[in-house]
Amino acid sequence: MSRIDVNKTYKLFIGGAFPRSESGRVYEIKGANKKFIANPSLASRKDLRDAVVAAKSAHPGWANATAFNRGQILYRIAEIMEGRSEQFVDEICALEGVTNKVAKSQVEAAIDTWVWYSGWCDKLSSVTGSLNQVSGPFYNFTSPESLGVVAIFAESKPSLLGVVRTLAPVLAGGNSAVLIASENYPLPAITLSEALATSDVPSGVVNILTGKSAELAPWVGSHMEIDGVDVAGLSKKQEEELKLVGADNLKRIFRFNLDNHPERILSFMEQKTVWHPIGI
Amino acid sequence: MSGFEYASAPESKAIANIASSYGLFINGKFVEPKKGKSFTTINPATEELLSKIAYADKLDIDLAVKSARTAFTKVWSKMPAKERGKYLYRIARIMQERAREFAVVETLDNGKPIRESRDTDIPLAAAHFFYHAGWADKLEYAGVGSKPKPVGVVGQIIPWNFPLLMLAWKIAPALAAGNTVVLKPAETTPLTALLFAQVCQQAGLPDGVVNIVTGDGITGAALVNHPDINKIAFTGSTEVGKAIARSISATKKSATLELGGKAANLVFDDAAIDEAVEGIVNGIFFNQGHVCCAGSRLLLQENIADEVLEKLKKRMSLIRVGDPMDKNTDLGAINSKEQLNRIHEISNTGDTEGANRWSPECKLPSKGFWYPPTIFTGVSQSHRIAREEIFGPVLSVLTFRTPAEGIEKANNTMYGLSAGIWSDKGSKVLWAAKQLKAGVIWSNTFNKFDPASPFGGYKESGWGREGGRHGLAGYLTSDAKAAK
């Protein structure tokens, strides 16, 4: 008799741990060949709130780490993913029904995305900050600072790259993240969380939920501890509804159309200007 | 009081030339509003009528937006950038030439001391045009890509606390970036904006590039909701800012919002106390406290609190409250009856919630709207006077023991516009500046503004920056943001 595979249980990633949904709910994911793959968690409002608590408490440590250190950790994620690339390729093939070659190039692009953003961490204030020539005896400078907790609705396809190109810039800017994986293609996000857990990313800096965007979006919109949202995976209508409730704490809500662009980092940062007199 | 008394040194009203009525400035001309409605503007220091102002409704807004759109597509966006810049230089120069007239009109309409309108508002407004004029033909170096494009037609709504200066903050970068504008001044302070319209005429600015529509909140809402506006730039209350964010949530409009604040002004025990006291006074009593970034929460390190308060009270008794047109006046009139009522309403909760009120003896004029410089001690973080923006000459004093506690209290607010730090230790200043969640940090100074210095808030103090390269970027489109 041939060996029986040991299948993975796909769980949430909150505060560095892998819990099931507190709601006890799961939903079924089938592959491109219509065969059962997994029962990932169907995250609830409470799971979202737990994720935000974890993200909020992890934020100061991550934001106050040196930019060089953050850059190294982002690079470390690329290293760990490289070692697991076969697993990502298999998963993408099964889910998306693409060829091995197509899946491989997606995984490579995702890894290279981490490398690209890794290099940005300690160059942001040089490139986007300024020393301002004010009319008076003052030293005056502007530099970017992280926003806080950013929620991300990942695109559905490409299933892995869609997660990485939204998550990496948020982390590069020193924010912590609550990422809601796409409803139909959530598995690479969870596998990514296993890479994150072993990449020196501090617990709680990244939290990943699986489930239904439509269910979670209104709670993301009204949560007062979420400071920004990337709505990549939401429909136009969901985006509008989220903006309406998000106005309650003036969330910074964006959708981007270019990959690998510093605007993706800077949109979730604040510019701080400091004045100090010059004199004896 | 013993010693020398100040003789009055009034500025003359003669230079003002305020007309008995003003129309709307649309497409380069002053026109009557379609429905012929109007409202009045008064001098808040005397309650005397200054002028009758046209009231713009939906129909007028539509005309103004159409004229701005035509000017954008046919003239302003096609003009060589260096020529666009020259118009802004012209405007800056004419504002400098007419600075005294602007200062007098501003003080009459707003109630702020002539010393402030003369030395701060008007020179800074002209400087904003001069600074941005130079950007017009250098946009590709502004850090938003090699082919920056203007946003289009911008609707701009400004408050009454710095009428001309806020107009300059809005119009100068918008025009430099190649946009055209429809601007609505505040209901109680429309006059310098209308004077500015005359400056545009003198500068030969093409018709429709700047349109000024006067009115109230309903006029502003009509502007925000006009379908052919590409961007809203608003300065005002957080409440209205959120309403704007909601009303554009299902549109392609972008927005910059400069909203409220409740700035902490932290005095550490190694601060130069006398300088700090001057900074505290400037922080809260500048412009009658009608400043979104006012240092309205004073946080004193406990071991120096008594000394600072004693010196602060002594300094406050020297504040001269009264006729804004007197060049010696420090604290002028509250801008409106409505605002005075609001200051009374929130400040009175300081008394009922158990804080201790103190004001120096001062005679307030019998006519007009006045509030004495006031401090509350024994304030706790949950008091309304520690949480809500009073927008008046009222200071809430709290204390802290350790620097970490000071930062925690400073950041305990939904706002994040500005903060102050007083300390003689460089490393402590930079540490505190890093910890404070605010867009503008003044260390060992307060309430400084400059066209080259970005201004704007964290959290519920708004979206985006104004001033400097970062402010300019808000009037240019980025290629990375999704075309919606």
Residues from chain B contacting residue A134 (CB–CB below 8 Å)? 448, 450, 452-453
Pair (B113, B157) in one structural domain: yes
ipTM entry: 0.96
Average of per-residue pLDDT across B27-41 = 98
Pair (B60, B150) in one structural domain: yes
Beta strands A36-38 and A29-30 are antiparallel
pLDDT band for B4, please (50, 70, 90 cuts).
confident
Pair (B426, B280) in one structural domain: yes
Domain that holds residue B108: 21-259+460-477
Residues from chain B contacting residue A243 (CB–CB below 8 Å)? 245, 249-250
Pair (B234, B294) in one structural domain: no
Residues from chain A contacting residue B127 (CB–CB below 8 Å)? 135
Reference B58, options B28, B24, B91; nearest CA is B24
**A20: DSSP letter:** P
Reference B297, options B397, B389, B392, B220; nearest CA is B397
Inside any domain, residue B410: yes
The pLDDT tens digits of the residues spanning A160-179 come to 999 999 999 999 999 999 99
Of the candidates A250, A255, A273, the beta carbon closest to that of B454 is on: A273
H/E stretch holding A153:
strand A149-153
Average of per-residue pLDDT across B380-397 = 97
pLDDT band for A250, please (50, 70, 90 cuts).
very high
Q: Is the pLDDT of residue B48 over 70?
A: yes
The pLDDT tens digits of the residues spanning B50-77 come to 999 999 999 999 999 999 999 999 999 9
Pair (B88, B107) in one structural domain: yes
Give the integer Cα–Cα distance in Å for B449 and A239. 36
What share of chain A in percent tops pLDDT 70? 100
Q: Is the pLDDT of residue B304 over 60?
A: yes
Pair (B229, B121) in one structural domain: yes
Q: Is the pLDDT of residue B25 over 70?
A: yes
The domain ranges of chain A are: 29-277
Residue ranges of E strands in B124-192: 149-150, 153-157, 180-184
Mean pLDDT of chain A: 97
**B303: DSSP letter:** G
**DSSP sequence for B408-431:** HHHH-SS--SEEEEE-S-HHHHHH
Pair (B438, B300) in one structural domain: yes
Chain A residue at shortest CA distance from B471: A271
Reference A13, options A163, A133, A155, A119; nearest CA is A163
Does B448 contact A275 at a Cβ distance shorter than 8 Å? yes
pLDDT band for B2, please (50, 70, 90 cuts).
low
The pLDDT tens digits of the residues spanning B469-484 come to 999 999 999 777 754 4
The pLDDT tens digits of the residues spanning A84-112 come to 999 999 999 999 999 999 999 999 999 99
The pLDDT tens digits of the residues spanning B403-417 come to 999 999 999 999 999
Say which CATH number the domain at B382 has.
Answer: 3.40.309.10
pLDDT band for B145, please (50, 70, 90 cuts).
confident
Of the candidates A236, A264, A273, the beta carbon closest to that of B480 is on: A264
Residues from chain A contacting residue B442 (CB–CB below 8 Å)? 275
Pair (B295, B368) in one structural domain: yes
Average of per-residue pLDDT across A237-256 = 97
8 Å CB contact between A22 and A47 = yes
Tally of domains in chain B: 2
Of the candidates A134, A271, A277, the beta carbon closest to that of B450 is on: A134
Mean pLDDT of chain B: 96
Pair (B253, B316) in one structural domain: no
Inside any domain, residue B179: yes
Inside any domain, residue B1: no
Residue ranges of E strands in B242-296: 254-258, 264-267
The predicted pLDDT at position B484 comes to 40
Does B453 contact A273 at a Cβ distance shorter than 8 Å? yes
Average of per-residue pLDDT across B163-184 = 98
The predicted pLDDT at position B312 comes to 98
Average of per-residue pLDDT across A60-76 = 98
Pair (B233, B323) in one structural domain: no
Pair (B221, B347) in one structural domain: no
- B119 by DSSP, 3-state: which? helix
Does B443 contact A275 at a Cβ distance shorter than 8 Å? yes
Residues 6+ apart with CB under 8 A from B304: B267, B269, B271, B273
Pairs of residues, one from chain A and one from chain B, whose beta carbons lie less than 8 Å apart? 120
Residues 6+ apart with CB under 8 A from B66: B228
Average of per-residue pLDDT across B341-345 = 98
The predicted pLDDT at position B432 comes to 98
The predicted pLDDT at position B483 comes to 47
Q: Is the pLDDT of residue B1 over 60?
A: no
The predicted pLDDT at position B469 comes to 97
8 Å CB contact between A272 and B438 = yes
Pair (B323, B444) in one structural domain: yes
The class of domain A29-277 in CATH terms is: alpha beta
B83: amino acid identity, one letter: E
Inside any domain, residue B14: no
